[in-house]
């Protein structure tokens, strides 16, 4: 009953998200591009990110399971079989990182055009756009590396999971994809470094977003 309710809620949320994204794409193609300028790419990128996240969620129906020494994300949908399920799980988390990137870039764009108009030329030159795109792609690649290195389950981690008691039987669990982190089997010098890197990156997104939004708020000039 609980799983059915969970799936129903995900499908309802997915349907609502699909309608909103289709509306966003409709607005993108209906609005004159000369009025949207560089910001027009934010619309289509946001819609693409939302739709990709939506498709991953519907294909995986991810479920979070937490115990004393580990946290795991278990695929329960149609594409739950490894390795495609694990690849989609990584893609799902990369899409979440992309959403943070989109928000941060939007805040920076707004800050420059409201408070630092003398630097607005950055968004009009090809070299600057290429540098911005390269930096964002580097951040996404970094997110993917962190997810693969820190959450791809090792053999020992799998054995730990298989010996636990779940609502899913062990045979079925062995055929499902999952990602996670175990305090017993996932802690290494490399994973600690990469997790620190991820925390710094998330902190950077937070600071940039809040700083740019605060300074670009028209009420701050009153």
Tell me the C-alpha distance between 58 and 15, whole Å: 10
Higher per-residue pLDDT: 102 or 162 = 102
pLDDT at res. 167: 57
Rounded average pLDDT over 14-33: 77
Segment 184-197, tens digit of pLDDT: 877 888 888 888 88
pLDDT at res. 81: 84
**Using 50, 70 and 90 to split pLDDT, how confident is the model at 109?**
confident
Average predicted confidence (pLDDT) for the chain: 79
Closest Cα to residue 105, out of 62, 146, 136?
136
**Using 50, 70 and 90 to split pLDDT, how confident is the model at 206?**
confident
Residue 211: count other Cβ atoms within 10 Å of its Cβ: 13
Strands (DSSP E) along the chain, which ranges?
A: 62-66, 70-75, 178-182
**Using 50, 70 and 90 to split pLDDT, how confident is the model at 221?**
very low
pLDDT at res. 163: 76
**Using 50, 70 and 90 to split pLDDT, how confident is the model at 169?**
low
Name the β-bridge partners of 64: 73
Domain with 193 in it: 2-221
3-state helix, strand, coil in the chain (%, to 5): 75, 5, 15
pLDDT at res. 39: 61
Tell me the C-alpha distance between 95 and 160, whole Å: 29
Strands 70-75 and 178-182: antiparallel
**Phi and psi, residue 53, nearest 5°:** -60, -40
CA–chain centroid gap for 1, Å, is: 29
Higher per-residue pLDDT: 55 or 30 = 55
Segment 122-159, tens digit of pLDDT: 877 888 888 888 888 888 888 888 888 888 888 888 88
Segment 153-166, tens digit of pLDDT: 888 888 877 777 66
Give the contacts of 168 (CB within 8 A, at least 6 positions apart): 74, 176
pLDDT at res. 21: 81
pLDDT at res. 171: 55
- Residues 161, 167, 169, 175, CA torsion sign: negative
Domain count, the chain: 1
């Amino acid at each position: 009953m609980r799983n059915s309710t969970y799936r129903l809620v995900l499908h309802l949320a997915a349907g609502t998200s699909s309608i909103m994204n289709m509306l966003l794409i409709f607005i993108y193609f209906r609005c004159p591009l000369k009025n949207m300028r560089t910001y027009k790419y934010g619309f289509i990128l946001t819609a693409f990110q939302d739709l990709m996240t939506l498709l991953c969620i519907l294909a995986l129906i991810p479920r979070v399971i937490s115990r004393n020494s580990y946290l795991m994300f278990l695929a329960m949908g149609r594409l739950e079989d490894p390795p495609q399920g694990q690849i989609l799980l990584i893609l799902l988390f990369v899409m979440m990182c992309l959403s943070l990137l989109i928000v941060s870039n939007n805040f920076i764009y707004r800050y420059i055009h409201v408070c630092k108009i003398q630097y607005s030329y950055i968004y009009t030159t090809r070299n600057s756009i290429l540098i911005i795109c390269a930096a964002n792609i580097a951040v996404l690649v970094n997110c993917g590396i962190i997810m693969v290195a820190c959450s791809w389950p090792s053999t020992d981690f799998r054995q730990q999971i298989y010996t636990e008691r779940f609502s899913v039987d062990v045979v079925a669990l062995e055929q499902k994809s999952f990602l996670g982190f175990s305090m017993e089997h996932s802690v290494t010098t490399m994973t600690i470094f990469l997790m620190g890197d991820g925390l710094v990156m998330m902190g950077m997104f937070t600071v940039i977003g809040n700083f740019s939004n605060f300074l670009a708020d028209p009420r701050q000039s009153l």
